[in-house]
C-alpha cells in the first residue's frame, strides 16, 4: 500500500461525525468544530534526518525553518490562516543547548514570517546513534472563505499553479516560501473549487485532487512553469512533474474565474494555467511534440 491507500483505509475504519469534524482524514488539514461559531484546522508533519533533510548539509536553523514551512504550506493549501504550532523533537545523542537554540531560531523565523506562534512542544533524546527527528503540529483558522478542499474540482475547471516547479533536489527546498498570503489572496479574489500544495510532485498531487473529486485532468506540458533549478536537471519536465517539494499551490476553478484571476492578479508570485479538468477519470499530458500520453504518478512515495 502507498500512503494514499493506507490513509484511505484509516479513514474507512472510523466514521467521523460531519458536524463535529467538517473535514476529516485525507485532506491537507482536518477541521474540528469547537463551538457553533468556531472551528480549528490541524495538520502534522514529521521530518527525519537522512530522509527529509541531511544534517550533514543543512544547518539546524534551516531544518527548524523547513519543519514549520511544510506545515505552513498545508495551511496555505486550504486557504486558512496559521495560528500556532507545537514542535516535538527527538534529539540525537550529544545534541547540546546551543544546537537546540539554533533549531529554535529557525522555527520562530518561519513562525514570525507567517504569523504562527510557537506555543509548546516536547523534547526527547535518543540513547544510541538514532537520527534526529522533528514533528510539527500546526493549527489554523478559517480565512474569509470556507477551507478549500481537494474534493471540489469540477469537469471543465481550469487547473493553475503558483510559482515554478522542479529542481528541489538542487537545494531550493530548504528555505522555501509557503504560499500562505497568496492562497488567502487568491481565495478572496475568485471562487476556488479545489486546492492542494505541491509537496510530493505535480503528478502525485494532481492525482490526489482527481481521486478526491472523481475527475480526470489534461495537463499541457508547454504551460508548466519550470524553475531555474529544474531547467538544470537532466529532464526538466520530469523534474517539474515528479521531484516534489515545490510547495507551490495547485488549484482548480471555473474557466471564467481563472480568466478573472489571471487578468487581475498582481502578486509577486506568478500564476500559470497548465490544464483543465476532464470527466475521463484519468490524467493525461500533452507532450512537447503534441502527443497525448497518460500522466503517470511518479512523485515522492513516503512508504517506499
Ligand atoms: Mg499538503
Quote the ligand 1 centre to 109 CA distance (angstroms): 21
Asked if residues 63 and 53 have their Cβ atoms less than 8 Å apart, the reply is yes
**pLDDT at position 245:** 93
**pLDDT at position 120:** 98
Quote the ligand 1 centre to 170 CA distance (angstroms): 21
Domain for residue 304, yes or no? no
Quote the ligand 1 centre to 18 CA distance (angstroms): 21
Count CA atoms closer than 13 A to 162's CA, side-chain side: 28
Pair (173, 127) in one structural domain: no
DSSP 266-296: --SS-EEEEEEEESSSSEEEE-TTS-EEE--
Pair (183, 279) in one structural domain: yes
Pair (177, 83) in one structural domain: no
CATH classification at residue 138: 3.30.1330.10
Pair (92, 116) in one structural domain: yes
Quote the ligand 1 centre to 291 CA distance (angstroms): 31
Contact residues for 96 (Cβ-Cβ < 8 A; gap 6+)? none
Domain for residue 172, yes or no? yes
Helix (H) or strand (E) segment spanning residue 207: helix 202-213
pLDDT in single tens digits along all 304 residues of the chain:
788 899 989 989 988 999 999 999 999 999 999 999 999 999 999 999 999 999 999 999 999 999 999 999 999 999 999 999 999 999 999 999 999 999 999 999 999 999 999 999 999 999 999 999 999 999 999 999 999 999 999 999 999 999 999 998 776 556 899 999 999 999 999 999 999 999 999 999 999 999 999 999 999 999 999 999 999 999 999 999 999 999 999 999 999 999 999 999 999 999 999 999 999 999 999 999 999 999 999 877 766 5
Pair (8, 137) in one structural domain: yes
CATH classification at residue 281: 3.90.650.10
Q: Cell 474540528 appears where?
A: 32
> Which three three-digit cell numbers place residue 185?
489572496
Pair (77, 175) in one structural domain: no
**pLDDT at position 172:** 59
Domain for residue 70, yes or no? yes
Q: How many domains does the chain have?
A: 2
Helix (H) or strand (E) segment spanning residue 257: helix 255-264
Pair (86, 174) in one structural domain: no
pTM: 0.96
**pLDDT at position 1:** 79
Quote the ligand 1 centre to 220 CA distance (angstroms): 23
Quote the ligand 1 centre to 119 CA distance (angstroms): 22
Bridge pairing between strands 249-253 and 30-33? unpaired
Quote the ligand 1 centre to 72 CA distance (angstroms): 9
Domain for residue 222, yes or no? yes
Other beta carbons less than 10 A from residue 232's beta carbon: 13
Question: How far is Cα 51 from Cα 10, in angstroms, rounded to an integer?
Answer: 24
**pLDDT at position 169:** 79
Quote the ligand 1 centre to 176 CA distance (angstroms): 14
Task: Provide the residue range defining the domain that includes 136.
Answer: 3-142
Quote the ligand 1 centre to 96 CA distance (angstroms): 32
- Which residues, chain by chain, have CB under 5 Å from ion ligand 1? 28, 74, 77, 197, 199
Question: How far is Cα 220 from Cα 235, in angstroms, rounded to an integer?
Answer: 16
3-state secondary structure of 232: coil
Quote the ligand 1 centre to 273 CA distance (angstroms): 20
Pair (62, 172) in one structural domain: no
Q: Cell 515528479 appears where?
A: 242
Quote the ligand 1 centre to 248 CA distance (angstroms): 10
Pair (209, 245) in one structural domain: yes
Q: Which of 85, 110, 142 is where one domain is finished?
A: 142
Amino acid at each position: 500500500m502507498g500512503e494514499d491507500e493506507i490513509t484511505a483505509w484509516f479513514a474507512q475504519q472510523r466514521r467521523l461525525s460531519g458536524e463535529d469534524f467538517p473535514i476529516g482524514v485525507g485532506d491537507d488539514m482536518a477541521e474540528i468544530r469547537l463551538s457553533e461559531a468556531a472551528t480549528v484546522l490541524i495538520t502534522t508533519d514529521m521530518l527525519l534526518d537522512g530522509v527529509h533533510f541531511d544534517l550533514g548539509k543543512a544547518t539546524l536553523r534551516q531544518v527548524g525553518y523547513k519543519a514549520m514551512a511544510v506545515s505552513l504550506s498545508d495551511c496555505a493549501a486550504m486557504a486558512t490562516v496559521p495560528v500556532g504550532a507545537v514542535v516535538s523533537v527527538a534529539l540525537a545523542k550529544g545534541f547540546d543547548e546551543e544546537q537546540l537554540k539554533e533549531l529554535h531560531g529557525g522555527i520562530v523565523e518561519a513562525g514570525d514570517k507567517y504569523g504562527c506562534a510557537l506555543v509548546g512542544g516536547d523534547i526527547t533524546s535518543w540513547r544510541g546513534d538514532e537520527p534526529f527527528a522533528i514533528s510539527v503540529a500546526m493549527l489554523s483558522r478559517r480565512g474569509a472563505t470556507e477551507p478549500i478542499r481537494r474534493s471540489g474540482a469540477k469537469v471543465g475547471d481550469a487547473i493553475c499553479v503558483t510559482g515554478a516547479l522542479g529542481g528541489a533536489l538542487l537545494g531550493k527546498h530548504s528555505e522555501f516560501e509557503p504560499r500562505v498570503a497568496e492562497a488567502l489572496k487568491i481565495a478572496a479574489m475568485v471562487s476556488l473549487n479545489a486546492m492542494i500544495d505541491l509537496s510530493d510532485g505535480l503528478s502525485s498531487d494532481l492525482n490526489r485532487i482527481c481521486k478526491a473529486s472523481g475527475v480526470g485532468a489534461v495537463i499541457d506540458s508547454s504551460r508548466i512553469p519550470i524553475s531555474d533549478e529544474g531547467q538544470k536537471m537532466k529532464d526538466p519536465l520530469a523534474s517539474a512533474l515528479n521531484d516534489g517539494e515545490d510547495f507551490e499551490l495547485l488549484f482548480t476553478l471555473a474557466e471564467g474565474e481563472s480568466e478573472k484571476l489571471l487578468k487581475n492578479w498582481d502578486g509577486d508570485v506568478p500564476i500559470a494555467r497548465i490544464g483543465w479538468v476532464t470527466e475521463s477519470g484519468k490524467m493525461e499530458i500533452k507532450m512537447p511534440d503534441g502527443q497525448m500520453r497518460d500522466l503517470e504518478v511518479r512523485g515522492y512515495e513516503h512508504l517506499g
